[in-house]
Amino acid sequence: MDSLREHGLRIGDLDPGPRCSIADVEGVRVGHVTVVRDEPGVARTGVTAIVAGATVSEPLRAGVAVLNGAGEMTGSLQVAEWGVLETPVYLTATMAVGRVYDGAVAAAVTADPAVGVESVVIPVVAECDDSWLSDPRPVHVVAADAGRALEAASDVVEQGGVGAGAGMVAFGFKGGIGSASRRAGDAMVGVLVLANFGERRHLRIDGVPVGALLGDVALARPRPAGSCIVVVATDAALGSAQLERVARRAGLGLARTGSTAHHGSGEIFLALSTARGPEEPLDIDAFFAATVDATEEAVVSALWSAETTVGREGRVAHALPHEAVLELLEAHRRIGVR
Amino acid sequence: MDSLREHGLRIGDLDPGPRCSIADVEGVRVGHVTVVRDEPGVARTGVTAIVAGATVSEPLRAGVAVLNGAGEMTGSLQVAEWGVLETPVYLTATMAVGRVYDGAVAAAVTADPAVGVESVVIPVVAECDDSWLSDPRPVHVVAADAGRALEAASDVVEQGGVGAGAGMVAFGFKGGIGSASRRAGDAMVGVLVLANFGERRHLRIDGVPVGALLGDVALARPRPAGSCIVVVATDAALGSAQLERVARRAGLGLARTGSTAHHGSGEIFLALSTARGPEEPLDIDAFFAATVDATEEAVVSALWSAETTVGREGRVAHALPHEAVLELLEAHRRIGVR
Amino acid sequence: MDSLREHGLRIGDLDPGPRCSIADVEGVRVGHVTVVRDEPGVARTGVTAIVAGATVSEPLRAGVAVLNGAGEMTGSLQVAEWGVLETPVYLTATMAVGRVYDGAVAAAVTADPAVGVESVVIPVVAECDDSWLSDPRPVHVVAADAGRALEAASDVVEQGGVGAGAGMVAFGFKGGIGSASRRAGDAMVGVLVLANFGERRHLRIDGVPVGALLGDVALARPRPAGSCIVVVATDAALGSAQLERVARRAGLGLARTGSTAHHGSGEIFLALSTARGPEEPLDIDAFFAATVDATEEAVVSALWSAETTVGREGRVAHALPHEAVLELLEAHRRIGVR
Amino acid sequence: MDSLREHGLRIGDLDPGPRCSIADVEGVRVGHVTVVRDEPGVARTGVTAIVAGATVSEPLRAGVAVLNGAGEMTGSLQVAEWGVLETPVYLTATMAVGRVYDGAVAAAVTADPAVGVESVVIPVVAECDDSWLSDPRPVHVVAADAGRALEAASDVVEQGGVGAGAGMVAFGFKGGIGSASRRAGDAMVGVLVLANFGERRHLRIDGVPVGALLGDVALARPRPAGSCIVVVATDAALGSAQLERVARRAGLGLARTGSTAHHGSGEIFLALSTARGPEEPLDIDAFFAATVDATEEAVVSALWSAETTVGREGRVAHALPHEAVLELLEAHRRIGVR
């Protein structure tokens, strides 16, 4: 699929990595299990796993931040206390968190012989609410989907309505998984979002009020709702306190796309470093800028990648209208002439 | 079973309720499912549910606090953000959290027709690590145990090695579930702890360094580890900000028993109010004192109530030696002459 | 002075109050003391007071939030703990905070006979660093300037390089005090910023990357630095937990203007309610949107209002070039044709 | 003056340093300026400075924690954000914070030529409310007292009613400055408290409910009030995240003495490391235990060291009755026979 970048959109002034995805951070891969069925109960849901090599025996440094806490990320208290991540990061639907946690425990036991013998594990499982498109009962995801998402992990990051993104809606359009990357000096910063937030009228793409200008497009979910989980990865040897600060900046990227962090929204962010050596002093401002820009682009990419989806009770989440958006971006000089 | 209170111990200067348990708060009940078996895998584990009437449609005000975050309480981010509790509070073993979450979702769907139709639910499930006595793999608890714990809920609170407390160890003795209550003016404050923390040498009962003085008793788990979940309930119409402050005081009660909040410990606290009317201005200091005293007594009660338990690999967690403790308390003038 | 609003700029879709300033919230007034002199030491500094009627005896509900804590707001711990504000909010330069605190104590003693007899007071004094333009030693502000700023308080809010804004720099242009308002249903939300943050290349006005496009304008302060204090006021009867959440949204407004919350920046926010009656349940999302939009406009207004200023060592902070900005906004269809 | 330690009291099982004070941490010194006068206004107040070598150019790693935020520690937001301390830590009375901040800025300018040229400084100034004994208006401390406290700094730590402790009251007795130390393996942990908190009936010394048992002693300040600032210093190369965790444990030491962290109390804690080399992995539990024990002993030491003080309006804060306390400790087997 094409991308707005291929059409000339440049968000911010930093360069992306070759894939412009979180997989530009060496060692980071993403796997999806998408659950789509119509009986029993309409399922447009799934599981996404972000794999960076963290295990209980060999954890990675990490930090978390919460902009609005109307959501869930299991393990976040432990990441905050210890500054380390011990498992992959799993994304799924709200009422499926328990099953994915259960499957993630089983996967951790398989991956690391110490788990369950010398120690236990609290996996990181985060959620958004996809119940506008996907009937949340019965819960469609099963525990084994966690392990399947790990097996599917690849450095080619599928985006849009896949995995945990299958049933998500953002800014009244079909949302889901998005990803982008930026260079911060010699280091790479990659971002993956599960975008399920925002009101149509607030959507901005690179500053252009696309949502307000596309006023007559058929509208999904009328009331503000939803959440946005953001995972930031870097290969730089940041310490956990710095990673917590990086995580906090994800909210600034969301703000640029039109987020006001609704009451009912879970804006929960995790940043991790794949570097296992000692923490290095680095120009943290470069990481902040890279995170904000990449988060903004990842949300836009989720919207651009997602396709129109019919869900529960015939509800339709329309894809972003590509042609109309390109025209607006050109009229506002964000692509073509600048 | 008797209690140290019956032997004359009086922690603090406030009066308890008639049961000296969290069930002194009207409408609060506690249910246990205890899973004890030797094959396959040694299970000394379970689920405990604290039921106070909270549902998604009719939530209760609540607050959370974290003293040391090396643990998990799902739903805690949402309680912190919204100041309300939407489900019972479930306690279990670390690696069983996913299953209990899954069962709690099913129970919420059953209890509240709106769940899964108009909204989703994030249940509150907290854990301690019982893997010194109970083999954590395979996970022994099943999702349906959440509902069974609800069905078992009663205003007679069983304490010690029951429910989630079955495999817990505290201060090198057998620990588990403990409860106590105190009056704060006209209101009632009840506390329930899942005690799984502390080093033998640090144990103090009402100020008497019992752990140091009982030096020659056979020792359980040598290294410091474990956690302590504390649930505080009151019938007073406190607001959520006040309840968060009340929750924070639970740590002061743990400190009096000898907690230093170990690195590996999850000291996570939740306070809830059963009052549904508007918040009332109250003398919050009375609630702070009641919480500290009741938390201290609940930990002592967990130790006093628990019986010697043989677990995984023949490991033995001894019961607190009642006679020796009574002698020490008398010699130090905490019972008998004062 | 004119404003970008008069030129047709409309940030967001909510209506402002009649003044489009924090003084649209009834009872809120703003006073400045501007200290400009060249000997001894170049002073381009001052004090700004936001007066909303809070005293120790009659506090107002309030909440605080920190996006990046490299700054100071005295009293913020107490506002966070108690959820109330007991004094005006004072703004000044970093090294002058002590003197303004001292003057604010004296003013509180004068204003409220109970202070210093039955109770003490911790005033709220926040700061940004104006030392690029203003020699910070000796400290130029004196304690009495706090009281003078109170006396100067008016519902006509002067903006730009006045009061605490005299020496501030934002996005490489002259910054300082900015203000704006928005209606949230029947309620009013007013915002005042002390803008002293951002990098030229990141500046966006209503989504147009003005900073990058104005590349050849002479540059002030080369390295990223500075801070941004934001005060949000509303006449709605929000509780303190809701006000804390409102304060948190100020950062989203800053993000839209180009903030990445630099390492060296103190992004500290306070929200207050002038309503003294009981908290009312309100559509909090409307307040979030109003706060984000008004914060964005307040920053733009600070830049638009400020005039070129020559400071310490001949350094020049240029005013935003009005004509060039208007051309860019028109070319990008933010004013004129839309 | 003698100490309870000389009488045989041993709190916890760790060894103290040679002075059993914060000055056992090499490089840490403490200076007091005590302001006592009867006209105009009764002054029983002062300034205490804890000097550890931190400057803007050569900061020390540090962390802060808040148990109850009804107090003030300027600079705490910056310590939390950056994890470093840039100035001495100053203690004083609530309404004198501004003047001490002002004097501390002047001292920082003198100490570090970069301050005010290349950077600014936010000094750390914390407070307790001594207004029960000391008339808070007029403010008696002057800015220059900050520098005088630095000049007075010594490794012999005077305790009791000196410096900022001159007018403090704890548990209904005369309180003030207390200090103690403990070894954590090869490292030293020193604690200094400004004790101005607690209710008589809650006072416990090494677990003995001394306050309740001393019921007939004349009582100071009837209502619960006050605060407790705790500064923890270590020579171990802990990182700032670990120091924040250490700071959090100070509250557990206060709890053992009888603190319930009253509504009106500012329990604010700072921990610093004098080690300038890279962070080292250490057994953090040893530091937690040392901090809890030393904080408990420091509070007891403050009470034991303070002398009966007559203050404002003839109010009397009595010294702890030494003989009666010794008898109680012996009867409860905490000294003499154990």
Q: φ and ψ at A331, to 5 degrees? A: -60, -35
pTM, two decimal places: 0.97
Cis peptide before C138 (omega within 30 of 0): yes
Please state, in angstroms and rounded to a whole number, the distance separating the CA atoms of residues D90 and D105: 11
Determine the 3-state secondary structure of B299 from DSSP.
helix
Task: For B103-146, write each residue's pLDDT tens digit.
Answer: 999 999 999 988 988 899 999 999 999 999 999 989 999 999 99
Please state, in angstroms and rounded to a whole number, the distance separating the CA atoms of residues B326 and B210: 10
Q: How confident is the model at residue D40 (pLDDT cuts 50, 70, 90)?
A: confident
**Residue D221 · residue D235 · CB < 8 Å:** no
Task: For A248-290, write each residue's pLDDT tens digit.
Answer: 999 999 999 999 999 999 999 999 999 999 999 999 999 999 9
Could you tell me if residue D224 is inside a domain? Answer: yes
How wide is the angle at C-alpha D158 spanned by C-alphas D154 and D162, nearest 5°? 115
Q: Is the pLDDT of residue D214 over 50?
A: yes
State which residues form the domain around A47. 15-331
Read off the tokens for B118: 């108009």
Short-list D153, D193, C259, CA closest to A293: C259
Could you tell me if residue D1 is inside a domain? Answer: no
Question: In what helix (H) or strand (E) does residue A209 lie, and over which residues does it extend?
Answer: none
Question: In what helix (H) or strand (E) does residue A310 lie, and over which residues does it extend?
Answer: strand A309-310
Q: Is the pLDDT of residue D261 over 50?
A: yes
The region that residue C180 occupies, defined by phi over 0 for left and psi between -120 and 50 for alpha, beta otherwise, is beta
Question: In what helix (H) or strand (E) does residue D261 lie, and over which residues does it extend?
Answer: none
**Which site among A66, A68, A72 would you substitute to test the B interface, given the most B Cβ atoms closer than 10 Å to its Cβ?**
A72
Short-list D69, D25, D5, CA closest to D191: D25
Could you tell me if residue C196 is inside a domain? Answer: yes
Q: Is the pLDDT of residue A176 over 90?
A: yes
Interface confidence (ipTM) of the complex: 0.97
Active-site residue, A301 included: no
Determine the 3-state secondary structure of B322 from DSSP.
helix
- Decide if C83 and B241 are in contact by the 8 Å CB cutoff: yes
Number of structural domains chain B divides into = 1
What residues in D contact C167, CB-CB < 8 Å? none
Q: Give the strand pairing for D89-93 and D124-128.
A: parallel
Q: How confident is the model at residue D338 (pLDDT cuts 50, 70, 90)?
A: very low
**Measured between CB atoms, which of C70, C72, C82 is closest to D74?**
C72
Could you tell me if residue B47 is inside a domain? Answer: yes
Short-list A138, A156, A198, A159, CA closest to A34: A159
Q: Give the strand pairing for C89-93 and C316-317.
A: unpaired
At B226 the pLDDT is 78
Rounded to the nearest angstrom, the gap between the alpha carbon of residue C165 and the centroid of all alpha carbons in its chain is 9
**Residue C240 · residue C76 · CB < 8 Å:** no
Q: How far is CA D122 from CA C71, C103, D35, D60, D127, in A?
A: 8, 18, 25, 14, 16
Helices B144-151 & B97-111, crossing angle to 10 degrees?
A: 60
**Residue A278 · residue A237 · CB < 8 Å:** yes
Please state, in angstroms and rounded to a whole number, the distance separating the CA atoms of residues C236 and C284: 10
Active-site residue, C119 included: no
Q: Which of C86, C158, C267, C297 is the catalytic position?
A: C267
User: Average pLDDT, whole number, for chain B?
Assistant: 95
Q: Is the pLDDT of residue D172 over 60?
A: yes
Q: How confident is the model at residue B338 (pLDDT cuts 50, 70, 90)?
A: very low
Could you tell me if residue A49 is inside a domain? Answer: yes
At C94 the pLDDT is 98
Q: Which residues, other chains included, contact A60 with Cβ-Cβ below 8 Å and sequence gap of 6+?
A: A52, A53, A54, A84, A85, A272, A273, A274, A276
Please state, in angstroms and rounded to a whole number, the distance separating the CA atoms of residues A238 and D142: 43
**Measured between CB atoms, which of A70, A75, A109 is closest to B72?**
A75
Which DSSP string corresponds to D157-207?
---BSSGGGGG-EETTEE-EEEEEEEEETTEEEEEEEEEE---GGG--BTT
Read off the tokens for A234: 């870097």
Average pLDDT over residues D216-221: 67
**Measured between CB atoms, which of D70, D82, D122 is closest to C72?**
D122
Question: In what helix (H) or strand (E) does residue B3 lie, and over which residues does it extend?
Answer: none
What residues in C contact B245, CB-CB < 8 Å? 81
Q: Which of C21, C134, C179, C227 is the catalytic position?
A: C227
Determine the 3-state secondary structure of A109 from DSSP.
helix
Interface of C with A (CB under 8 A): 13, 67-68, 201-202, 204, 206-209, 212, 224, 245, 248-249, 251-256, 259-263, 284-285, 288-289, 291-292, 331-333
Could you tell me if residue A9 is inside a domain? Answer: no
Q: Is the pLDDT of residue A338 over 70?
A: no
**Measured between CB atoms, which of C81, C103, C120 is closest to D129?**
C120
Read off the tokens for B154: 């009663």
Could you tell me if residue D10 is inside a domain? Answer: no
Task: For A178-187, write each residue's pLDDT tens digit.
Answer: 999 999 999 9
Per-residue pLDDT of chain C in tens (338 residues, 90 and over written 9): 689 999 999 999 999 999 999 999 999 999 999 999 998 889 999 999 999 999 999 999 999 999 999 999 999 999 999 999 999 999 999 999 999 999 999 999 999 988 988 899 999 999 999 999 999 989 999 999 999 999 999 999 999 999 999 999 999 999 999 999 999 999 999 999 999 999 999 999 999 999 999 976 666 666 656 799 999 999 999 999 999 999 999 999 999 999 999 999 999 999 999 999 999 999 999 999 999 999 999 999 999 999 999 999 999 999 999 999 999 999 999 998 54
Give the CATH number for residue C274. Answer: 3.60.70.12
At D337 the pLDDT is 59
Neighbors of chain D with 3 or more C-beta pairs under 8 Å: A, B, C
**Measured between CB atoms, which of B76, B102, B135 is closest to A102?**
B102
Q: How confident is the model at residue D27 (pLDDT cuts 50, 70, 90)?
A: very high
At C338 the pLDDT is 45
Name, of B132-146, B223-237, C106-120, D217-231, the range with top average pLDDT.
Answer: B132-146
Could you tell me if residue A2 is inside a domain? Answer: no
Determine the 3-state secondary structure of A246 from DSSP.
helix
The β-bridge partners of C92 are: C127
**b/e B261-279 (16+ beta carbons within 10 angstroms → b):** bbbbbbbbbbbbbbbeeeb
Please state, in angstroms and rounded to a whole number, the distance separating the CA atoms of residues D97 and D89: 12
**Residue D43 · residue D134 · CB < 8 Å:** yes
Q: Which residues, other chains included, contact C6 with Cβ-Cβ below 8 Å and sequence gap of 6+?
A: none
**Residue B36 · residue B44 · CB < 8 Å:** yes
**Residue C13 · residue C20 · CB < 8 Å:** no
* pLDDT > 90 in chain B, percent: 92
Task: For A34-61, write each residue's pLDDT tens digit.
Answer: 999 998 889 999 999 999 999 999 999 9
In B, minimum Cα distance to D262 occurs at B285
Active-site residue, A3 included: no
Q: φ and ψ at A232, to 5 degrees? A: -110, 135
10 Å CB burial of residue A314 (0-12, 13-18, 19+) is: exposed
The region that residue A157 occupies, defined by phi over 0 for left and psi between -120 and 50 for alpha, beta otherwise, is beta
Determine the 3-state secondary structure of A136 from DSSP.
coil
**Which site among C228, C260, C292 would you substitute to test the A interface, given the most A Cβ atoms closer than 10 Å to its Cβ?**
C260
What residues in A contact B139, CB-CB < 8 Å? 102, 105
Count of C-beta atoms within a 10 Å radius of residue B245? 24
The β-bridge partners of A195 are: A176, A228
Q: Which of A199, A267, A296, A297 is the catalytic position?
A: A267
Query: Hey, what amino acid is at D290?
Result: A
